[in-house]
Structure 1
Amino acid sequence: MPGTPLTRSFIDELDHDIHTSITDTTEVFAPFTGEKIHDLPVSAVDDVTDAATKARAAQKRWFATGFEHRRRVLLRAHDLLLERRELLIDALQTETGKTRGQAFEEVFIGASATRYYAVSAKSVLRPRARRAGIPLVIRTQVSYRPKGLVGVITPWNYPLSLSLFDVIPALAAGNGVVQKADNQGALSILAARRAFIDAGVPAELWAVVTGDGTEIGNAVVDAANYVCFTGSTATGKKVAARGAEALTAVSLELGGKNPMIVLDDVDPRTAAQNAVYACYASLGQLCVSIERIYVQRSVADAFTREFVARTAALVQGPAFDFSTDVGSLTLPSQLERVQAHVDDAVAKGATVLTGGSARPDLGPLFFEPTVLTDVTDEMDCSRNETFGPVVAITVVDSADQAIAAANDSEFGLNASVFSGSISRARRVAHLIDAGSININEGYRATFSSVDAPMGGMKQSGLGRRNGREGILRFVDARTVANATGLMTLPRTGAEFAKLSGVMILMLVALKAIRRR
């Protein structure tokens, strides 16, 4: 089958949208087949500097247009994303190797985030009165000003949705953007960006650069007033350190080793059916994908039996339609990592209940969805993120033991609790160290809730995307206060002597009436 349904002319058009002044290129290959998709133009450091300069100039004009104009443009872009969904899905499948259904999820959530920020930016960022230190005597207001230029560094696994989670609130708040696209996800990003440009976003306001991750990524950090990074914890720490040199704030969504707890009051069959998707969507190449399952003993046999059967029955293959359940890994390095984790676990005593092998008969980067048991701490897959279709099931005797095991990790990005009682599941969720916790779902309950913040604890990140928090990171809060003239504040010793008693009485009275 062909490596992509995208036409050569369309790919060439998108390549021309990359901000570059050099002729260097790098080859990009289709995960499904290993065929070359295109020779991707790459950028130089000077291109990042030039893009930043032009984006800053465009940002001043964009901010001046006001919230209503930005709202109209972003809502038009939302409509264009939906109109062009098949093309966007084709691009996502071509570059990532995920199924059509999971590519559709990216477009759906990206459009949801676009609509959300288009309609909510004004209400979140409008100036608001705040309680003054001396009521009636002082009047205080807080307003917001955009940071200016936002740097966005995006990974290859969810290039469209993770881009829009960061780029759109930045634009809605009145900022410009320079985005470093991963080489493997550039077409998907550029295709989505084209919808926004056609809707009225100035082309120079949102620049896309490509190239070496360290060199070009560092240039983006250096050029920006705020940086969003999604990727590994190790690289995220380097981004944070570089930003700190210039006091540039960052938000980081980093690695995870996400746990699921299956309590003893579940219907094992239903829980297993839902858990399978949480583990193997995008073949596990999702920052919030489940890699560890802790199941209480009384339901462990039934749950595991159904989970393994469901996993083994998944339809895997390369298809640009909805005929498959799971697709391919994206990069050769991912295949090597997954195989190494499985081989290491088996060599040290783990049991493979299903899967465990590559599928070269399907394509160069296919690996079977894999279920392991008897996983111990000395195995690489126990604590390190696999980022692939490998899940370990561990039997526990109590909910407390499951919670302790779930929290015994340096990561804290996503978690899941399955229970027949929502109230019981919420009590357990309250005790889990993770930024997002799903009940009777793996990740989609929180991932799709664009009005709620998303981010990690511990080594899984800093800051939050989505919700009010997701747009407030792109602005500086400013306080403006004025004296009303009702009373002149004391300036001399004599005036303090006269008014200090009155001011103390005011504090006592405010406490008595429980005023802030």
Structure 2
Amino acid sequence: MAPNRSSIPGPQPTPAATPAPAVPPLTLKPGTSWQDAWRRSLAAAPEAFRDDHVLNLWAGVWQPDGSPLPAASPLDGTPIAGPPRLDADTARHAVRASLDQHRTWRHVPLPERKARITATLDALTEHRELLALLLVWEIGKPWKLARADVDRAIDGVRWYVSEIDRMLTGRTPLPGPVSNIASWNYPMSVLIHAMLVQALAGNAVIAKTPTDGGLSCLTLACALAAREGIPATLVSGSGSELSPALVRSPEIGCVSFVGGRDTGARVATAVADLGKRHILEQEGLNTWGIWNFTDWQSLTPILRKTFDYAKQRCTAYPRFVVQRSAFADFLAAYLPAVRAICFGHPLAVAAPDDPLPELDFGPLINTTKAKELTDLTTEAISRGAVPLHRGTLAEGHFLPSQDTSAYLPPTTLLFPPPSSPLHHAEPFGPIDTIVLVDTEAELLAAMNASNGALVATLSTDDPETYSRLAPQIRAFKVGHGKPRSRGDRDELFGGFGNSWSGAFVGGELLVRAVTEGPPAERLPGNFPDYHLMP
């Protein structure tokens, strides 16, 4: 019988520790590299993609003009195709050519327009996975959100095809094409969606590719549309160079703009001076108020969802206005949500057969934006803001040694100083700011800090309190305990104050905004000479 080791005198050997299993480094999912996406794009639309660059589309032809700029993916710095920038004179030629297309297209019978748009949607559906992959590389969207962007565009326009006959009763196309200038964050569900609905209504359409991303995805989508005879123009260039043609040209029938307030203000001034039809969606500080509220258990999962796509969307909620007496309970619901957020490289997997990760967000749009927000955070803290949560890149889901300079972990600041842009402007990144208030008047003042917003939410247990306070919040849509979204079918959408100018959209109003009706018709919206119409 073996002796009892513990009874043997002398030093005893230490039992060997069981080594932890080695964690394999993450790798890029096979078949998802930028080179794979580019090869597939070349095969899908060789007329629009050439060697290592894309072409501009105008006068119904893919043109080899323009000076390509270098570009890099926010995912990991991989070089990708950059915009082939046109000069002002060429942009003017493109607009004149679009007017020629418009004069023909506006007389194409509606059944034929519907058939061509439907064929375009079928082609987009066939290339759904490739369009989503391009979005991942070009603007950093996680895979699930990228596919949702593509699907929303396709499904949304199909709905318009089914409803367009009644929407166009008594209406005609505009005198000239619709010019679209949109931000980079939703190339499909905002920009392509709008262009196809505008074309369905009988207009030729022009779009400027966003400077920061979405070029190849938009190029592929427009190539598929152009094959079906849709009169689309897609051009690249700086805003200052192309604005005279895309905004001020007399040929333009309507300007549709989605972007920041500074650029939007310049566009608004131009279209107002010219008396031109316009739809101008601009940023605003969307806020979430907490007042006499107790259902904390329901709040945590909702709060995590507010970080989708790093809050890089027009309906994100970066500001929480909280009743001081409820602050401890709010933190108990909020902090688990922000600590559970997953971010990192959207195409990184542990094994080749693994599905792509379901991340809350990937990178910001570029390294410049990440640095800007990092600097603003540091400055705000140095001036008195209290950091309640600061994530680190070590928590991210990354490839070994990859470039992470475009990534920003989730951050939460209490009481951003009034001198900081984080106090009054939308950060467009994963930064939340919290302000504490003691009275309803303070609550409303804090929720209206940016003179107009697209959405807001008020969480309160008392329906009467909600009904009384909600109309005083300067946001176009106000949710009761739930976030509001843009909406693009049956629901009206617009904004108050500096967040919106011109015609409102949503459902039938999107069609009305880009067509002409009775001579005395006034569109619902924010215009210089009248207020929101019933």
TM range (shorter): 0.7 to 0.9
Q: Which amino acid aligns with 1:210?
A: S
Contact 1:337–1:386 (8 Å) recurs in 2: no
- Matched residue type, 1:196: A
1:87 maps to a residue whose letter is: L
Q: Secondary structure at the match of 1:75?
A: helix
When structure 1 is superposed on structure 2, of 428-437 and 344-353 the one drifting more is 428-437
Give the corresponding residue for 1:211.
Answer: 237
Q: Which moved more, 1:177-186 or 1:354-363?
A: 354-363
1:251-270 aligned at under 5 Å gives the runs 251-270=279-298
**TM-superposition CA deviations, 1:440-483 (whole Å, max 9, x none):** 3324xx32352222222111121323222222121222449xxx
Counterpart CA distance in 2 for 1:430 and 1:257 is: 17
| Closer, same or farther: CA 196–427 of 1 in aligned 2, 3 Å | farther
Q: Does 1:197 align with 2:238?
A: no
Could you say which residue in structure 1 is the equivalent of 2:382? Answer: 347
Q: Which residue of structure 1 aligns with residue 413 of structure 2?
A: 372
- 2: CA distance between counterparts of 1:89 and 1:230? 21
Q: Distance in 2 between matches of 1:396 and 1:7?
A: 52
Q: Which 5+ residue runs of structure 1 have no aligned equivalent?
A: 128-142, 481-516
Name which of structure 1's ranges 104-113 and 251-260 shifts more when overlaid on structure 2: 104-113
Q: Which structure has greater helix proportion?
A: 1
Return the offset for 1:355.
Answer: 1.9
Partner of 1:111 in structure 2?
Answer: 154
Please name the residue that 1:139 is paired with. none
Q: In 2, Cα distance between the equivalents of 1:340 and 1:257? A: 20
Residues 128-185 of structure 1, C-alpha deviation per residue, up to 9 Å, x if partnerless? Answer: xxxxxxxxxxxxxxx4342321111121222222203431332122011111111322
Return the alpha-carbon distance in structure 2 between the equivalents of residues 428 and 276 of structure 1. 25
CA contact (8 A) 2:304 2:340 kept: no
1: CA distance, partners of 2:224 / 2:457: 35
Q: Per-residue CA shift, 1:296-327, capped at 9, x if unaligned? A: 34543232223222212211111232432211
Contact 2:304–2:341 (8 Å) recurs in 1: no
Q: C-alpha displacement at 1:31, in angstroms?
A: 0.2
- Tell me which amino acid in the other structure corresponds to 1:41: P
Aligned to 1:185: 214
The answer on 1:477 being equivalent to 2:517 is yes
Establish whether residue 301 from structure 1 lines up as the match of residue 342 from structure 2. no
- CA contact under 8 A between 1:252 and 1:462: conserved in structure 2? yes
The 2-side partners of 1:342 and 1:423 are apart by 38
1:319 aligned to 2:346? yes
Change (3 A) 1:412 1:72: same
* 1:220 matched residue in structure 2: 246
Residue identity over aligned pairs, in percent, reads 22
2:38 maps to what in 1?
7
1:185-229 residue CA offsets vs partner (Å, 9 max, x unmatched): 21122222234334x243xx1110001121013321133121111
Contact 1:148–1:225 (8 Å) recurs in 2 = yes
Structure 2: state its 5+ residue gaps.
Answer: 1-27, 348-355, 395-400, 521-534
d(CA) in 1 for partners of 2:238, 2:375: 26
Please say if residues 4 and 30 of structure 1, whose CA atoms lie closer than 8 Å, have aligned partners that are also in contact: no
Given that residues 367 and 407 in structure 2 are in contact (C-alpha distance below 8 angstroms), is that contact kept between their aligned partners in structure 1? Answer: no
Alignment check: 8 A CA contact 1:367 1:389 kept: yes
Question: Can you list the C-alpha shifts for 1:270-302, whole angstroms capped at 9, x where unaligned?
Answer: 213212322x22212112211111123454323
CA contact 2:174–2:514 (8 Å) conserved in 1: yes
Matched residue, 1:390: 431
Relative to 1, partners in 2 of residues 1:367 and 1:69: Cα closer, same or farther, differing over 3 Å?
same
* Distance in 1 (alpha carbons) for counterparts of 2:465 and 2:91: 51
C-alpha distance after superposition, 1:407-454 (max 9, x if no partner): 2322322212234566754544332111232333324xx323522222
* SS of corresponding position for 2:314: coil
Q: State which of 146, 169, 191 in structure 2 corresponds to 1:126.
A: 169
Q: Which amino acid aligns with 2:123?
A: L
Task: Say whether the 8 Å CA contact 2:56–2:236 is kept in structure 1.
Answer: no
- The residue aligned with 2:67 is 24
Quick check: 1:227–1:248 contact (8 Å CA) kept in 2? yes
Report the equivalent of 1:462: 501
Which of 90, 93, 116 is equivalent to 2:133?
90
What residue number does 1:487 align with?
A: none
* Residue of 174, 184, 195 corresponding to 1:167: 195
d(CA) in 1 for partners of 2:35 and 2:338? 27
Distance 1:43 1:98 in 2: 27
Q: Which amino acid aligns with 1:431?
A: Q
Tell me the distance in 2 between the aligned counterparts of 1:328 and 1:310: 19
Report Cα offsets for 1:313-351 as digits up to 9, x if no partner: 211111232432211101222112211220121001111
What residue number does 2:528 align with?
A: none
SS of alignment partner, residue 123 of structure 1: helix
CA contact (8 A) 1:271 1:418 kept: no
Alignment of 1:419-498 (within 5 A): 419-420=460-461, 425-443=466-484, 446-463=485-502, 464-479=504-519
Secondary structure of 1:335's partner?
helix
Is 1:153 equivalent to 2:184 in the alignment? no
TM-score (norm 2): 0.79
Number of aligned residues: 459
- What SS is found at the alignment partner of 1:330? coil
Query: Among 452, 461, 474, which residue is 1:411 paired with?
Result: 452
